[in-house]
Structure 1
Amino acid sequence: MTIRLTALIKKKEGMTSEEFTEYWSTNHGKIFTSLKAVKENVVKYNQFHVLPKVTEEFAALGMPMAPYDGAAEFWCEKKEDILALFGDEEYRKNAVPDEHNFLDRSAVQILVGEEQLKYQKA
């Protein structure tokens, strides 16, 4: 069974959406994916970037929009792998300090579970 952790995140105050997307995608992405703990424990890592203009269009239709700027998604084979990743000293030394450059760590919300795919277009 694959375990998925999704971290809902907000950009750092004072950052534009463009600055947030660029920094997270380029700078932090390189730091995070270079970590030994990532290579040993993570099956898949995805960044989900919210599209502000599209979000505004949906909000204008009366749809309730979540107050987040993105989601970091991590797939691991078992929960111990996720715990090993986030407990890793190199992660805490390199990735966590960099997170302060682009996101509000106090606003992060975590979901942990498993996927149950019900439909996929062939």
Structure 2
Amino acid sequence: MTVKIIALLKRRPDITHEQFIERWGENHAKILASLDVTKRNIIRYSQLHVNLQYTETLKQAGRPAADFDGVVEMEVEKLDDFLEIFTDEGYLKVAYPNEDSFLDRTSVQIVAGEPFMKFERDV
């Protein structure tokens, strides 16, 4: 069974949500996808770009809405594959410094677990 990693991300306080989405969604995704450690260790990588209008609508409807700008979803064979990324020389030289342009590292929240599909609508 694989391990699914979910990371909740917030932007740096000195940039806009739109700047965060551009820097993370375009630049950082390309950098990350180019790294050997990523190609070797990550099965699946996707980004959820938070829609601030949806967040506000949820709040107005009385629903709890998390104050994050984006969500990363990754799938790996084992947790060590995920952890290895952060010690990889390529990541440390290229991807990690790029994160400084958009990410508030102090606010990142990570959840890891094993996925169990319980429902899927036929399309």
Q: TM-score, normalised by structure 2?
A: 0.94
Q: SS in structure 2 opposite 1:118?
A: coil
Which residue does the alignment assign to 1:110?
A: 110
Structure 1's consecutive aligned runs of 4 or more residues displaced over 3 angstroms after TM superposition are none
What stretches of structure 2 of length at least 5 have no aligned partner? none
Which residue does the alignment assign to 2:99?
A: 99
Which residue does the alignment assign to 2:29?
A: 29
Q: SS in structure 2 opposite 1:87?
A: coil
What stretches of structure 1 of length at least 5 have no aligned partner? none
Question: Per-residue deviation at 1:80?
Answer: 2.2
Aligned mates of 1:57, 1:79 — CA distance in 2: 35
Aligned mates of 1:80, 1:105 — CA distance in 2: 21
Q: SS in structure 1 opposite 2:112?
A: strand
Which residue does the alignment assign to 1:7?
A: 7
Matched positions, count: 122
Q: CA RMSD in A?
A: 1.0
Which residue does the alignment assign to 1:38?
A: 38
